[in-house]
Structure 1
Amino acid sequence: MDAAAWIVAAASVLAAVVGPVAAVHALLTKREPQVAAAWMAVCIIFPVGGALFYYVFGINRVETRARKLVAEERIPPSPGPSMETHSPSLGPEYAEQIRISDAVTGRPLEYGNRVQSLHNGEQAYPTMLEAIDAAQQTVYLSTYIFETNTSGRQFIRALTAAHRRGVEVRVLIDGVGEFYSWPRASRLLRRTGVPVARFLPPRLLPPQLSINLRNHRKLLVIDGQTGFTGGMNLGDRHLLQSDREHRVADIHFLVDGPVVHQMEQVFLEDWAFTTGEARAASPPGKPHVDGALSRIITDGPNEDLDRLVMTLIGALSAAREEIWLVTPYFLPMRSLMTALEAAALRGVEVNVLLPARNNLPFVHWATRHMLGELIHWGVNIYYQPPPFAHTKLFVVDRRYAQVGSANMDPRSLRLNFELNAEFYDRAIAGEMAADCQRIRAHSRRISEEELRQRPPLERVRDAACWLASPYL
């Protein structure tokens, strides 16, 4: 047998082994049947290439490592805590949502928190930089994208100055998100001596191919007392008043109160996961007399999987008057779609605000395929005009609100490490609902008729993108 025949025989044996093995692995490890079936089909139809693709994008290598590095896994409290343990001022309308979040999140509610909305980089960045400049003990920063343009370098200078005056500074940047800018922020920070780590950076030696599992959390915690979170990355693109072509509108949030301690704990868990270095959290801050009840909800492909989905469904089920949902990427899983439709059918005003022009066209196309069903059952869909709207808000009955990094798509709800903050407070929820109303005022409502009138090729394109939505 010549060399060519040996190569053909070896390739045939390889195809006969790796494809079925990868398919069986998907069958045993995937949580949803349609996802398992899709991966199995890819691995069987394309035995070698499909198996390699599955190895790179389909295997969750995070869960086991995370469980080993987090010193003590959070254990959810027993369900049904008394309302008095949270706040005597809360009415019974909060009981259902509190009971669900208590059981799901494994974190306690913290009383006495204030929150302030910061619109776009023009408001957020100066406030964040001022907080870094005023730091006395610790500065913990985690972000998905850290650009090295003018805005990014302002943060690098502020972090460097804090480090040089003796503040304990730690910076965590996602290993894929950092490639949005060159030179990389991690390299510039290391040059100035700031401790920085990259979350699951892709590399060949030693192999690290968890490309799909990203840290999408945005956190800045100062002295364990002041925190910032939301959906805003660091870079000039968030300066809405600039002349940049690809500007991004967004809202970030300044949080002050005991719940910041939970934000710091999340950062330190991520830092330990990435570096193996365990650090003690600062003591919780003092509650404000006029502050809100709040807690942090984490989600990710580790022990936190599906916690955010369950709290969202719980809130949708408890809605009685109105729901506001603002998100840049909207590809909800079937359970969330059903919850939105059921709320609309029982008379709740359900409003979903999406960008008219998305920075990821294939996500926009996939979304258009499934909007017709939601509209048919009474969900109101609105398109916001450019610039691209990256804001994430979720408000129920002007009494409950969630803000944070999570989008309404499979990547956020199944693959990314995300962080949201929930607030049980009518003043805060009312202010966020007012923001949603202002967004709706200059948005355009979408109708079933408009979607039905799409050209046939456009409808096929949208459906094909929707078919791939579990991987977008």
Structure 2
Amino acid sequence: MTLHILLQEYWPHLVFLVTVSASAAAAVHAAMTKNDVRAAISWVGVVIMSPLFGPFLYLIAGINRIRRDQISQQRDKSLKEYARLPVPKALDIASHSAPQFESLSILGDKVSHHPLRNGNHIVLLQGGDETYPAMIQAIDEATKSIALQTYIFDHDSEGQKIVDALTRAQERGVEIRVLIDSIGSKYSRPPIIKLLRKRGIRTALFMTNPLGMRMPYANLRSHRKILVVDGRIGFTGGMNIRAEFVTAVAGEKTCGDTHFKVEGPIVLQLISVFAQDWEFTTKEMLPYDTWCCETWDPPQPHAPARCIRSGPDRFIENTHNMLLGAFAVAQKHIRVQSPYFLPDATLLGAINTAARRGITVDIVIPGSNNLRLVNYAMTAQLDQVIRNNCRVWSARGNFNHSKLITIDGAWSYVGSSNLDPRSLRLNFELDIEIYSHDTARTIEQLIDAEIRNSDRITPESLAAMPFRKRLRNRIIWLASPYL
């Protein structure tokens, strides 16, 4: 019997054998490699219930191809290069923030590879109207090096201004490296990476071509936002580079966001994170003397701060652990502003426990969200915090992308992380913790202003929604780990 006749006669049996084998292999892999039981059960269920599509989906979105041993070795090598400064003496946390945060700083020592350092000057920037001009000014004053990392870098009027500033810097002989996430680079057409490369600016895409296929990693993304100029001035926070955050362009539809300009020792931590991601992507190690600075003279006031990086590698639990610790030591007030509030059961338990201890918990979410499915899932979960006396506020007005947490007017956690499954487990994120009354007070005022322009969500308002919408929200909520 020839192979052609054999295939004609038995192709249904062969297809059945291949699908069963693929499903079994994918299910076994998920069960053996997923540390989160919910993720393991979800993927096994998808594979078994959809024997044709399930294994393919798992191959693309379910496998963490970031080999922990490989990336860890690269980062250890870079960390040694970027850790020349001596470890600082223990700080008096109580004098900078509040006594209850002394234990949190110890947790940070265990969670982060970066030490808590004093002498940082931190300035909050609101929206593109303040952030982009400050970034361009820093770029125009650069004399040695510029490192820029972002998730979205749109090819629009504001993106063009950043490219023009980088071009001017390059013409002055400044060393420049730009790292854009491969998924985020596709938010505008044509992608701005073509323009950057046309200008001769060294640019790379983070996470491309898995297994030799011409496609980006479908489920692992760099969500970090970093700009470091001459190793002295840094910018980080939640802002991408998009014209929709600029009033002169977007007008009445301008979206809100928050970013931070930092000066001081924490800038060395920012460039360290960038250098490690750049090396992982391009295999190029950036020389310390070109990209770093060891002396700073930032203006007053100063604040202790450090970077907390997280991602689907050995740092996967970092933000999760920091927030669990922070909610546990809160004594008066927790304020959270997040565009995508979908914490897992453990974080929900920590937030609810704080509220049951008598801590005032305010959670601000956008009334108008840019991700409809996430908004549905988020709404389906709100009753779990509201019934435990947390106050949830739906902000009126345009979408606000800010990610801000402050506790007891003394400690703040800001950066790129959302409180959703993607940020907590799949994205490469970067946040900073700040022990400062001044910074916390500024963030509190920002969040309280949002609350004054918000409608409170109550059990009654949730129950008043039509049943079909509540059912829709719960169905979408079931898929929240994949949003």
2:241 to 226, 234, 237: 234
Give the alignment partner of residue 15 of structure 1, picking from 14, 19, 27: 19
Report the counterpart of residue 294 of structure 2 in structure 1. 284
2:79, 2:285 → 1: CA distance?
16
TM-score by length of 2: 0.93
Displaced runs of 4 or more, over 6 A: none
Which of 353, 359, 365 aligns to 1:348? It is: 359
Q: How does 1:92-171 map to 2 (within 5 A)?
A: 92-171=99-178
Q: CA contact under 8 A between 2:88 and 2:115: conserved in structure 1?
A: no
Match of 1:451 in 2: 462
Say if 2:220 is the partner of 1:213.
Answer: yes
Aligned length: 466
Matching residue of 1:180 = 187
Aligned to 1:260: 267
**CA deviation vs aligned residue, 1:300-325 (integer Å, no higher than 9, x gap):** 00111110110011011110000110
Query: Which residue pairs with 2:29 in the alignment?
Result: 25
**3-state SS of the aligned residue for 1:454?**
coil
Deviation string, structure 1 residues 97-151 (Cα, Å, up to 9, x no partner): 1111111112101111011111111111111000000001110000111011111
Any idea what SS the aligned residue of 1:407 has? Answer: coil
Matched position secondary structure for 1:116: strand
Mapped to 1, the partners of 2:137 and 2:112 lie a distance apart of: 32
2: CA distance, partners of 1:406 / 1:33: 23
- Secondary structure of 2:247's counterpart equals coil
AA aligned opposite 2:182: G
* Structure 1 residues 394-446: Cα deviation after superposition (integer angstroms, max 9, x where no partner): 00000000110100000111000000011101111111111111111111110
Taking the aligned partners of 2:210 and 2:76, their CA distance within structure 1 comes to 27
Residue 69 in structure 1 maps to residue 80 in structure 2: no
**Which position in structure 2 is the counterpart of 1:37?**
41
Segments of structure 1 that go 5 or more residues without pairing to the other structure are 76-81
Deviations 1:66-108 (A, max 9, x none): 2243244879xxxxxx996224734533211111111111210
Which of 83, 86, 93 is the matching residue for 2:91? Answer: 86
Q: Among all aligned residue pairs of Structure 1 and Structure 2, give the percentage whose two residues are the same amino acid.
A: 36
C-alpha deviation, 1:204, in angstroms? 8.0
SS state of the match for residue 198, structure 1? strand
CA distances 1:313-339 after superposition (whole Å, capped 9, x unpaired): 101111000011001001001111111
Instruction: Quote the residue 1:401 is aligned against.
Output: 412
SS at structure 2 position matched to 1:419: strand
Whichever residue aligns with residue 204 of structure 2, its letter is: A
* 3-state SS of paired residue (2:249): coil
Whether contact under 8 Å (2:412, 2:435) holds in the other structure is: yes
Deviation at 1:2, TM superposition (A): 5.2
Cα separation, 1, equivalents of 2:295 and 2:25? 52
Q: C-alpha distance in 2, partners of 1:309/1:203?
A: 28
8 Å contact from structure 1 (residues 395, 432) kept in 2? yes
Q: If the length of structure 1 is used for normalisation, what is the TM-score?
A: 0.95
| Alpha carbons 1:202, 1:211 under 8 Å: kept | no
Distance of aligned partners of 1:99 and 1:203 in 2 relative to their CA distance in 1, 3 Å threshold: closer
- Aligned residue in 2 for 1:56: 60
2:377 alignment partner in structure 1:
366
Deviations 1:252-309 (A, max 9, x none): 1101111010000000000001101111331334264631000000010011111011
Deviation at 1:458, TM superposition (A): 0.8
1:322 corresponds to 2:326: no
- Secondary structure of 1:255's match? strand
Q: How far apart are the structure 2 equivalents of 1:323 and 1:214? A: 29
Corresponding residue SS for 1:350: strand
SS of corresponding position for 2:382: helix
Tell me which amino acid in the other structure corresponds to 2:139: I
Where in structure 2 are there 5+ consecutive unaligned residues? 81-86
Q: 2: distance between equivalents of 1:193 and 1:205?
A: 26
**C-alpha displacement at 1:191, in angstroms?**
0.5
Preserved contact between residue 185 and residue 191 of structure 2 (Cα < 8 Å): yes
Residue in structure 1 matched with residue 255 of structure 2 by the alignment: 248
Q: Which residue of 2 aligns with 1:79?
A: none
Contact 2:170–2:176 (Cα < 8 Å) also in 1: yes
Deviations, residues 151-199 of structure 1 (Å, cap 9, x unaligned): 1000011111111211010000000101011111111111011000000
CA contact (8 A) 2:153 2:159 kept: yes
Alignment-mate amino acid for residue 100 of structure 1: L
Alpha-carbon contact 1:319-1:343 (below 8 Å) kept: yes
Query: RMSD of the TM alignment (CA)?
Result: 1.9
Question: 1 CA distance for matches of 2:209 and 2:373?
Answer: 24
Give SS of 1:18's match: helix
Aligned-pair distance for 1:202? 5.2
